[in-house]
Structure 1
Amino acid sequence: MRIIVIGGLGNFGARICQRLAQVPGLQVIAASRRPHHSVHRFESGVTLATVALDIFAADFQARLVAAAPELVIHCAGPFQGQDYRVALATCAAGAHYLDLADGRDFVAHFAAQVDAAAKAAGVLAVSGASSVPGLSSAVVDQLGQSLARIDAIGTVIAPGQQAARGVATIQAVFGYAGQAFARWNGGRWARQYGWQDIRRFSFAGLAPRWGAACDVPDLALFPERYPSVRDVEFHAALELTVQHVALWVAAALARLGIRLPMARWGAGLDRLSALVLDRFGSDVGGMRVQVSGLRADGAARCLTWELTAPAGHGPQIPCMAAVLLACKLARGELALRGGRTCMGLLTLKEFDAEFQRWNIQTQITEQAR
């Protein structure tokens, strides 16, 4: 299978390129707006061909069609504010499509915008093949098997301060500061604000951290996928308290009408963090998904799945769903066609081999609620 990874030299795209290059039968090409050479050699020693593709160029679709992909993996975020030109161009090229989108509206509206084109082309187009909702929904599906009714779902992602960060990710995360969004709370939609609702969270293998509310696709998708659920929440738990304080202040100012250009400052803030703050943090990250509800016997239970990623391997996690789906498509194991979000396509067990590859530890605990 011929795979083109758009943003293939970036933080997540490069990881996907190098991982898929190890799979027999896959021809992986790294696409970038301005590749310096026709061949790129990664620090790992993996060497791949490159192609120049700018998703905002007027001739993007024509150039993508000419590149003759069988699968396109879109990693060029941030996805907040993007349209569906890459997915539609991929359908025009007759290729399958995956993306790592974490933008709530982008993922939630993807099927409505892309399904018809994907079905007409006879391809599968999937949005959100990342930590959310790709991995998070697989976890909830697994935990939910022990419950007759799901009442609440809470997800927390805790990146290691020293783990590699992409500028697009920084722009997206910081861009949430002070932004209002809807959260399913108490069986109804309530307003919440980005980088507010700060709480203290504990994790297996990590010191306790503060976490703040962020807007992700799960908040829109889970109330429909799990009809009994009454509360769905998501928090991001940065390692250093000073960062939470700064983002909380920026969010508070935004709510007062003083909006700082946090997203535009993303690259500069990332460099500042690397120079000044990284030394005070670690390279260990984590993720936690907690599902509460009732068992068939009426007992109220809380099940918690936790992940600990050592040695700076946390950024591999958002890449796993796309890697697994690419391999399934190459093996002819996905007969579905059309546009959809990345839910119900992967089981939690299918992630196990990738977790083991990066020495990522997981565990599930259960307690009375």
Structure 2
Amino acid sequence: MKKKRVLIIGGTGVFGRRLAQHLARWNDMELVLSSRSKTKARACISQLQNLSSTAKVRATVLEKGSDLGFRLEEINPDIVVDCSGPFQGSSYETARAAIQSGADYVDLADARDYLTRFETELDAIARQNQVSALAGASSTPALSACVVGQLAEGWQRVDDIDLCITPGGKSEVGRAVIAAILSYAGHSVPCWREGALSSAIGWSGGERVNIPDLGIRRVAPVETLDAELLGPRHDVRGRVSFSAGLESPIEQFGIEALALLRRRGFVRNLKRLIPVLLRLRQITRLATSDRGGMRVAVRGIDGQAQATLATWSLLAKDNQGPFVPILPAAATVRKLLAHATPPGACLADRHLELADILAETEGYQITTRVDIAHGAQ
């Protein structure tokens, strides 16, 4: 049987490297890791070859740009997975080039604007080329939407949905993640209040939350598509909120302070701080742990007409939290390999169940639990 060729764009980054490690365990797989640095790509390939005796792995230097279509013709992938980020402010150039090359496309985008227009921009061309293009195959919106869908299945009414993510402080953080955080710190981000779309200020108005098996962490509103996606989908009467938190109090309060400064007009361009923040994090992370988590709480009236609070939580130990965002992408690739998705462009959660994603946690220090409380107000 011919090995399926999967190109991972950004294959040496924080998430691309982990997705490659995950896929390298599969049979009948040929992985092509792209990077802007040949040295980084070769080093990553050496590590992967030590992990797998079945997957064929090679590296390529790939720059996004005008010659991307030509390079894709050379590589000739069956599936293209874009892990490069940040997707805030990104165009659909990479997705369009992949589609036109005849490859299925997956990305780990969590940027609201990018995801909002993805289907409109690319569905027709994906159908024309008889390929699937699936966006948002990451912790949000794919995993978060699948969790809410399972928790609220059969419910008569959904009143509130509260979601939060807080990684372990020792987790590796790349430039793209910092850039994404700073892009909306102090800016308006969507939320759902009283059954309608509203807004909050990114990384402002933080609060403390208790995540089962992890403990209390401070979180603040961040930009995701979840409010606009889950509010109408579940006809939520109250709120849909999505927050994130950094384990280090210095990092968390630092980002909140930068958000306040930008909001009040004292600072405008935060991008120039990225190198400084990355260097400072080498110090602040020393006092943190290797444990991170995610919590999804859904409140409403269940199928038996009982007031219910259903809470799903995830705990990642041993610094394996950065694998969580790639699990929906891996599940999506598995669906594509099985030809289980029709041609067209849409968000990845449309073709995923929570069980598909959780099946990819095998072998990791990642566990989940569900707590149900009836009579909750």
What CA RMSD, in Å, does the superposition of the two structures yield over aligned residues? 1.7
Instruction: Give 1:244 shift.
Output: 2.1
- What is the correspondence of 1:171-320 to structure 2 with a 5 Å cutoff? 171-274=179-282, 276-320=283-327
- 341, 354, 357: which one aligns with 1:351: 357
Instruction: Give 1:108 shift.
Output: 1.4
Instruction: Give 1:44 shift.
Output: 7.5
CA distance in 2, matches of 1:235, 1:263: 21
Percent identity of paired positions between Structure 1 and Structure 2: 33
Name the counterpart of 1:48. 57
- 2, 8, 11: which one aligns with 1:8: 11
Instruction: Give 1:220 shift.
Output: 2.2
Residue 326 of structure 1 pairs with residue 333 of structure 2: yes
**Where in structure 2 are there 5+ consecutive unaligned residues?**
none
| 2:222–2:243 CA contact under 8 A, matched in 1 | yes
SS of equivalent to 2:349: coil
Instruction: Give 1:182 shift.
Output: 2.7
SS of equivalent to 1:292: strand
CA distance in 1, matches of 2:129, 2:48: 37
SS of equivalent to 2:57: strand
Instruction: Give 1:228 shift.
Output: 3.8
Q: 1:44–1:283: structure 2 CA closer, same or farther, 3 Å change rule?
A: farther
Name the counterpart of 1:342. 348
- 36, 40, 49: which one aligns with 1:33: 36
SS of equivalent to 2:368: strand
Residue 145 of structure 1 pairs with residue 153 of structure 2: yes
Larger displacement relative to structure 2 (26-35 or 342-351): 342-351
Larger displacement relative to structure 2 (111-120 or 145-154): 145-154
CA distance in 2, matches of 1:38, 1:159: 26
Q: TM-score under structure 2 normalisation?
A: 0.93
Q: How many residues align?
A: 366
Q: 1:337–1:230: structure 2 CA closer, same or farther, 3 Å change rule?
A: farther
**Where in structure 1 are there 5+ consecutive unaligned residues?**
none
CA distance in 2, matches of 1:191, 1:19: 37
CA distance in 1, matches of 2:109, 2:184: 15
Name the counterpart of 2:20. 17
Q: 1:179–1:302: structure 2 CA closer, same or farther, 3 Å change rule?
A: same
Instruction: Give 1:200 shift.
Output: 0.7
| 1:153–1:229 CA contact under 8 A, matched in 2 | no
Residue 361 of structure 1 pairs with residue 367 of structure 2: yes
CA distance in 2, matches of 1:365, 1:25: 39
Q: 1:65–1:293: structure 2 CA closer, same or farther, 3 Å change rule?
A: same
Instruction: Give 1:364 shift.
Output: 0.4
CA distance in 2, matches of 1:87, 1:352: 26
CA distance in 1, matches of 2:301, 2:13: 43
Q: 1:240–1:36: structure 2 CA closer, same or farther, 3 Å change rule?
A: closer
Q: TM-score under structure 1 normalisation?
A: 0.95
CA distance in 2, matches of 1:149, 1:187: 12
Instruction: Give 1:222 shift.
Output: 1.4
SS of equivalent to 1:219: helix
Query: For residues 296-339 of structure 1, what are the alpha-carbon distances to aligned partners after superposition, in whole Å with 9 as ceiling and x for unaligned?
Result: 3432211000000000000000000111111221122x131100
What amino acid is aligned across from residue 284 of structure 2 in structure 1? L
CA distance in 1, matches of 2:40, 2:323: 25
What amino acid is aligned across from residue 342 of structure 2 in structure 1? L
Instruction: Give 1:111 shift.
Output: 0.4
CA distance in 1, matches of 2:48, 2:119: 37
Name the counterpart of 2:68. 60
CA distance in 2, matches of 1:175, 1:43: 33
What amino acid is aligned across from residue 338 of structure 1 in structure 2? G
| 1:41–1:48 CA contact under 8 A, matched in 2 | no
What amino acid is aligned across from residue 71 of structure 1 in structure 2? I
Name the counterpart of 1:113. 121
What amino acid is aligned across from residue 137 of structure 1 in structure 2? A
CA distance in 1, matches of 2:274, 2:287: 20
